[in-house]
Amino acid sequence: MAATAASPIPPFPRDFLWGVATSAHQIEGAAAERGACVWDAFTAVPGNVKDGTTAAVACDHYHRYREDVALVRGLGVGAYRFSVSWPRVLPTGAGPVNAAGLDFYDRLVDELCAAGVRPVPTLFHWDTPLAVQEAGGWLSRDTAERFAAYAAVVAARIGDRVTKWITLNEPAEHTLLGHALGEHAPGRRLLFDALPAAHHQLLAHGLAVRALRAAGARDVGIANSHGPTWPASAADEDTEAAGLYDVLLNRLFADPLLLGRYPDGFGELMPSDDLAADLDVISEPLDWYGINFYQPTKVGAPLPHPTEYSGLTLPPELPFAPRRIEGYPVTDFGWPVVPDALPELLTAFRDRYGDRLPPLVITENGCSYEGLDDQERIAYLDGHLRALHRALEAGVDVRGYFVWSLMDNFEWAEGYRRRFGLVHIDYATLERTPKASYHWLREVLRAQRA
Ligand code: GBH
C-alpha cells in the first residue's frame, strides 16, 4: 500500500479540533489501586480473552501518565480524549470516593492543561464497577441513577478545567458485544433481551448530561459507533436483514438522542413505566455528537450456521449475518479499509437528522497493524482524512477528529495482539516508541497549522 499520496492533505478549518483517544481500562493498569470492574471478572475466565491476558498492568499509564502526556504534546494535537474509570473514582460504584483515584484524574487534567492540550474525558468506556454489576448492571434502571451521581462527583473535581465532556462510549457495542453476544464483559448472551441495557445506558447518558450541566459544563456530547450498512444483495431477505442491522447500529441510539423517539417497534421493548418521560431525559439537547468510525458492514439474511466475523462469533439465531466485504485492503483485524464509507455515513446522518443534528466530531478512527514502520496505518489515516475533508466540503458540520489510539493497548477480547497505537508499547519493558505514523501525523498537523 502506498504510504502517502503525493499531494498534501487539504486544509481543515483553523479551529478544527485534532486529537488522539484512549480509554481507562485499556491503558491504565494499576488494577490493585481501584475497585474491581466487569472486565476484571471477565478476563479471569479462561477463553474469554484470546491471548489469555488481562488489563491488570496494560500500559501502566496510571503511573506513567506524564510520559504519555508528553507524547500527546509532541504530536501537536489540540485535544486528548481519555476515559475516567468509574471503579477508580468510586470503587463500589457509589460512595465512598477513592481519593487517590480522583487525584489521578485531577493531576492528569493539570498535566494536559500545562501541555496546552484540551482534556476531553469520557465518563464510561465499558468498565462498570463489579459491585454495580452485581446489583444488576445495565439491566437495572438504578444503574442510570448511580452513573449520574458518579458524573457529578467527577465534574465537581475536574469541571473547572474540563470544558468538553463525553458521557458514554459506544452504548451500541456495549449492548451488542457485552449483553447480546457475550463477547465482551459482562459476558451476557441475551440476544434481543439485551435491549434494556440499551435503554438504561441512554437514560444514564441523559441524567449525566443534566448532572454535568448542573455542575457548569457547557460542551457535552456522546461517542457512538456508526458505519454504513451495505446489503449483501438486492434480494428482499438481504435488504430486510441489512435494514434491521442498520437500525440497531445507526438509529437505535441516535434516534432517541436526536429525535426523542425510538425506531418503530423498539419503544415497546424497552423497560419503562413512562417512556415519554424517559425519552425527554434521553433527548436532552447535545452540544455536539461524536461518531466512532471504523468500517462499513455488509449484511445479509441469516445463515444456518454461526458466522465468524472480525473476531466475533455471531449465532445463527440472529435475524441477520455479516458478509465479508471484498475488493478492499483489510487491517490485521480483518476490517476492510473503506475511506469513502466515512463521507457516506456523514452525509446520511446530515440528511436523516437535518437541523436536529448538532455539530459532529469523529471521536475515534484508526486501525490495527503490527510494526513500527506502520505504512499501512499512515495510508489508512491519510485516506480517512481526505475522505473527511470531502464530507466537510459537502457541507457536513464536523468540528474535530480523534485518532484511535495514542498508543497500543488492551484490545478487549483480543488482548494485546491487536495494536491500534501511533505509539508502540513493548509490554515486557513498557517502553514507548513512536511509530512512523506518529511522526507522519505530527507533520500533517504542523502543515495544518502553517
Ligand atoms: C472501539 O470500538 C472502542 O471504543 C475501543 O475501545 C476499541 O479499542 C476500538 O474501537 C478498536 O476496536 O461490527 O461485525 O462489523 C469499535 C467497535 C466493533 C467497530 C466491531 C468495528 C467490526 C466488526 N467495533 N466492528 S462488525
Pocket test for ligand 1, best of 59, 294, 309 (most atoms within 8 A of CB): 294
Contact 361, 401 (CB under 8 A): yes
CA 310 – ligand 1 centroid, Å: 9
CA 153 to chain centre: 22
pLDDT tens figures, 205-250: 999 999 999 999 999 999 999 999 999 999 999 999 999 999 999 9
CA 331 – ligand 1 centroid, Å: 12
Give 114 or 2, the one with higher predicted confidence: 114
Q: What is the pTM of this model?
A: 0.98
pLDDT at 370 > cutoff 70:
yes
Quick one: average pLDDT of 21-48? 98
Quick one: average pLDDT of 388-406? 98
pLDDT at 6 > cutoff 90:
no
**pLDDT value at position 311?**
79
How many helices and strands (H and E) does the chain possess?
15, 15
CA 421 – ligand 1 centroid, Å: 14
Superfamily of domain 2-449: Glycosidases (3.20.20.80)
Give DSSP secondary structure letters for 141-190: THHHHHHHHHHHHHHHHHTTT--EEEEEE-HHHIIIIIIIS-SSTT----
pLDDT tens figures, 103-120: 999 999 999 999 999 999
Quick one: average pLDDT of 25-43? 98
ipTM (interface pTM) = 0.94
- Torsions phi, psi for 434 (to 5 deg): -60, 135
Nearest CA to ligand 1 atom 22: 310
Is 28 a catalytic site residue? no
pLDDT tens figures, 128-138: 999 999 999 99
Q: Where are the domains of the chain?
A: 2-449
**pLDDT value at position 2?**
44
**pLDDT value at position 5?**
52
pLDDT tens figures, 153-164: 999 999 999 999
Beta-strand ranges (E) seen in 30-172 are: 79-83, 118-124, 164-169
CA 148 – ligand 1 centroid, Å: 25
Point out the ligand 1 atom lying closest to the alpha carbon of residue 322: 14
- Residues lining ligand 1, Cβ inside 6 A: 23, 169-170, 173, 225, 292, 294-295, 297, 309-310, 312, 322, 335, 364, 404, 411, 420
Is 170 a catalytic site residue? yes
Three-state DSSP at 204 gives helix
Quick one: average pLDDT of 59-75? 99
Specify the amino acid at residue 116. G
